[in-house]
Chain A
């Protein structure tokens, strides 16, 4: 089958067995790969209500048809499971050599089941699968674990690993790869830890099946060069994503002091210019010529790889404006294998809860040493507070009480990324309807919102834009599996991706052929959530109360006195449901599911939710 290996590798850690399974061309064309494969596998195979940290959960590592083929930014892999953070569908992508090695080993997805009886390294070399002891690195950070693996296998292998946070099942532990790549914000690292799976190493030696390999080689090579030249011209990777920080500060969208502030006079101290000036190394994902990972020294001389999200959440959100201090928190998160976004959200929430008297404690905003200490407690689940904060902001807020849930900055249990939407209604909705909890990767609408519409409007155009962006970013890019940055940052047209897809698979698809598939993937993710939470209503798609609270509005600056309006937000949410063909509860209608080819799933869904 051109474009796909046609095989999944299913591994059971309990029985230490594996099986190679085949899938049909129809399956490939229905779900494409990556997130599409992951949600279909997890929806079909997981029983509702299972413990995401128990042996019944499954970890899916999936790639797409263009993954690993030399062409712009195709080095990403999807990791997915039932999320320990949210209890719903969870996934994330990360740059890793697993991408091409898994395909060269002959698989488009790896499904990991069960639970090992001791710390394990899963080694996959083509058709050979080994369950090796990893006791030596159990309890070690991701940096040391990565070095340990490289020392044994060389640097050419694909590696996924976890740190202490994953081992201790911190609900926002991530999977790590290469020197500084992380993925799977909603606790995919904790799922690995729950299975005593310390690392996965993949090596492959087979060619990736392609319809027109010679044409693709030329096309990929030329396009990699062109994208590189475009990046040089736009000077994007000089600051990479950290260039976003001063923009957020100027438009009052920066998270400051647990999202209570939207801008800060000291923000320039941690912006992209300062990051670039401090640069000691540059990193990137495989097949990328616009490498955006910037290594800077932290306050202990260690090298930390930073980007906008982690600086925003571990810097201004904690009232920290000293770059080496922010880098140190970032380094610790990476080494423990904690998601930097959620870690910054949790630390900010904890400091805020103390400040407001919801809980007693010594931690104060701006206390870098205190934040370092608490991060370690979280990663080790140390003491009552470390153990509670390891559960994430929502669970911690429920334990603290005193109204703290109102300023627990999360949606569906996943902490909000570094965009403060106190007065950015569309982006607030993008967080609200993101299918894995609050994440910016699905639909980053702020640019459109600030540029082309009235910032304070709640129109249907914004809901439509969110759907359009979800189709491209969350559907197309996450299923063919590629990085989104060349598209907007450099203006690399989205039409290039069907060309790659067609050259690799021998198909003749147009861009619009991907939209129904994207919608199908979103509908199935929604059904996954509904099966877990049948009583869910539209309130689950609302952001935290703090953004609607007049008392929380800025007192100065561009959005002084402004806040989100609950009724108007609700109206915009309804536009989103209407466009997607969901009913007033946010449930896909029977007709919508049938039109997306999910008729069988619609019938099954009737067991837990009434379809209209």
Chain B
């Protein structure tokens, strides 16, 4: 299945891309996706699917747009 990952803020520089379409096996969870793109999980991360929070154990679906962001405290 295909999912799109959109990185925010510092992740764009630490991982070297902003947006990427990934081909993943069905049943891939959010946590597995984060490992696949080598996100540093020692820091808090916000993961959203189409604008809504999504749990690390949840499975991804075909066509998902996954937002991976550091936490912010506002502008």
B72 and A450 form a contact (CB under 8 A): no
* A250 engages B6 (CB within 8 Å): yes
B69 / chain A contacts, CB cutoff of 8 Å: 247
Q: A246-B8, A250-B8 are in contact. Are A451 and B13 (CB under 8 A)?
A: no
Assembly CA distance A489 to B14 (angstroms): 15
Question: What's the least CB distance linking A322 to chain B, in Å?
Answer: 20
With an 8 A cutoff between CB atoms, is B9 at the interface?
A: yes
Alpha-carbon distance A273/B67, docked complex (angstroms): 16
Kindly list chain A residues whose C-beta atoms are within 8 Å of the C-beta of B43: 234, 491
Determine whether B46 belongs to the interface, using a CB cutoff of 8 Å to chain A: yes
The answer on a CB contact under 8 Å between A489 and B51 is no
Contact A418 B75 (CB under 8 A): yes
**Proximity bits, A535-552, B CB within 8 Å = 1, else 0:** 000000000000000000
Beta-carbon nearest neighbor of B11 in chain A: A235
- Are A309 and B75 touching (Cβ within 8 A)? yes
Q: In chain A, residues 195-252, which have Cβ atoms closer than 8 Å to a Cβ of chain B? A: 233-236, 238-239, 241-244, 246-247, 250-252
A243: which B residues are within 8 A, CB to CB?
8-10, 70, 72
Please tell me if the beta carbons of A450 and B52 are within 8 angstroms of each other in the complex: yes
Asked whether any CB of chain B lies closer than 8 Å to the CB of A48, the reply is: no
A239, A246, A312, A491: most-surrounded residue (chain B CB, <10 A): A246
Complex: A591 Cα to B25 Cα, angstroms: 60
Is the Cβ of B73 less than 8 Å from the Cβ of A444?
yes
Q: Does B74 contact A441, Cβ atoms closer than 8 Å? A: yes
On whether A450 and B48 interact (CB within 8 A), knowing A234-B43, A250-B67, the answer reads yes
B20 within 8 A of A: no
Using a Cβ–Cβ cut-off of 8 Å, how many residues does chain B contribute to the interface with A? 25
Query: Is the pair B8, A447 in contact by a Cβ cutoff of 8 Å?
Result: no
Give chain A residues whose Cβ lies under 8 Å from the Cβ of B71: 447, 451, 488-489
Q: Determine whether A455 belongs to the interface, using a CB cutoff of 8 Å to chain B.
A: yes
What separation, in Å, do the CA atoms of A234 and B52 have in the docked complex? 24
A352 CB → nearest B CB, Å:
22
A485 adjacent to chain B (CB < 8 Å): yes
A440-B75, A444-B74 given; A250·B51 CB < 8 A: yes
Q: In the assembled complex, which residues on chain A have CB atoms less than 8 Å from the CB atom of B1?
A: none
- Contact check, B72 vs A447: say whether CB atoms are below 8 A apart: yes
Q: Which residues of A contact B67 (CB under 8 A)?
A: 247, 250-251
Check if A444 sits within 8 Å of B53, measured CB to CB: no
| A89 CB, min distance to chain B CBs, angstroms | 21
Q: Beta-carbon contacts of B9-28 to A below 8 Å, as 1s and 0s?
A: 11111100010000000000
Q: Do residues A489 and B73 form an inter-chain contact, with CB atoms below 8 A?
A: yes
Q: Residues 385-427 of chain A: 1 if any B CB is under 8 Å from the residue's CB, otherwise 0? A: 0000000000000000000000000000000011100000000
Interface pair A451/B73, CB less than 8 Å apart: no
Task: Give A565-585 interface residues, CB cut-off 8 Å to B.
Answer: none
In Å, the complex CA distance between A415 and B30 comes to 38
Which residues of chain B come closer than 8 Å to A283, judged between CB atoms? none
Asked if A451 and B46 sit within 8 Å, CB to CB, the answer is: yes
Q: Are B13 and A238 in contact (CB under 8 A)?
A: yes
- Are B72 and A247 in contact (CB-based, < 8 A)? yes
The verdict on B44 contacting chain A, using a C-beta distance below 8 Å, is: yes
Contact code string B25-55 (vs A, CB < 8 Å = 1, else 0):
0000000000000000001101010111100
Beta-carbon contact of A312 and B75 below 8 Å = yes
Q: Min CB distance, A320 to chain B, in Å?
A: 17
Residues of A within 8 A of B73 (CB): 444, 447, 473, 484-485, 487-489
Q: What B residues does A444 contact at CB under 8 A? A: 72-74
Is the Cβ of B46 less than 8 Å from the Cβ of A447? yes
Known: A558-B52, A559-B51. A239 touches B72 (CB 8 A): no
**Residues of A contacting B12 in the complex (Cβ-Cβ under 8 angstroms):** 235, 239, 273
Q: Is A500 an interface residue (CB 8 A)?
A: no
Does A522 interact with chain B (Cβ within 8 Å)?
no
Bound form: Cα–Cα A491–B40 in Å? 13
Complex: chain B residue closest to A243, CB-CB: B9
Q: Is the CB of B9 within 8 A of A239?
A: yes
Whether, in the assembled complex, A384 has its beta carbon less than 8 Å from a beta carbon of chain B, the answer is no
Question: Which residues of chain B come closer than 8 Å to A298, judged between CB atoms?
Answer: none
**1/0 contact string of A311-343 vs chain B (CB within 8 Å):** 010000000000000000000000000000000
Interface centre among B9, B43, B69, B71 (most CB of A within 10 A): B9
B8 touches A247 (CB 8 A): yes
Q: Please, which residue of chain B has its CB at the minimum distance from the CB of A447?
A: B71
Report yes or no: B72 in contact with A489, Cβ–Cβ below 8 A.
yes
Is A308 on the interface with B (CB-CB < 8 A)? Answer: yes
Complex contacts, A108 vs chain B, CB 8 Å = none
CB atoms of B9 and A247 under 8 A apart:
yes
Closest A residue to B69 by beta carbon equals A247
Please, how many angstroms separate the alpha-carbon atoms of A250 and B66 in the complex?
10
A385 to B37, CA, bound (A): 53
**CB of A307 within 8 Å of the partner chain:** yes
The smallest C-beta distance from B49 to any residue of chain A, in angstroms, reads: 9
**Interface residue? A272 (CB, 8 A):** yes
Tell me the complex Cα distance, A235–B12, Å: 9
Q: Is the CB of B70 within 8 A of A417?
A: no
Q: Which residue of A lies closest to B74 (CB)?
A: A444
Task: Tell me which of A247, A417, A485, A558 contacts B50 (CB under 8 A).
Answer: A558
Once the chains bind, are B70 and A241 in contact (CB under 8 Å)?
no
**A315 CB to nearest chain B CB (Å):** 12
Residues of A close to B75: CB separation below 8 A = 241-242, 244, 307-309, 312, 417-418, 440
On A, residues with C-beta under 8 Å from B are 233-236, 238-239, 241-244, 246-247, 250-252, 272-273, 307-309, 312, 417-419, 440-441, 444, 446-447, 450-453, 455, 473, 484-485, 487-489, 491, 557-559
Can you offer 8 A-B residue contacts whose CB atoms are under 8 A? A234-B10, A234-B14, A235-B10, A235-B11, A250-B51, A273-B12, A417-B74, A558-B51
Known: A250-B8, A491-B43; 11 extra A-B contacts, CB below 8 A, are: A235-B11, A236-B9, A241-B75, A243-B72, A246-B8, A308-B75, A417-B74, A450-B52, A455-B53, A473-B73, A491-B44
User: Which 4 residue pairs spanning A and B have beta carbons closest together?
Assistant: A558-B51, A308-B75, A243-B9, A235-B10
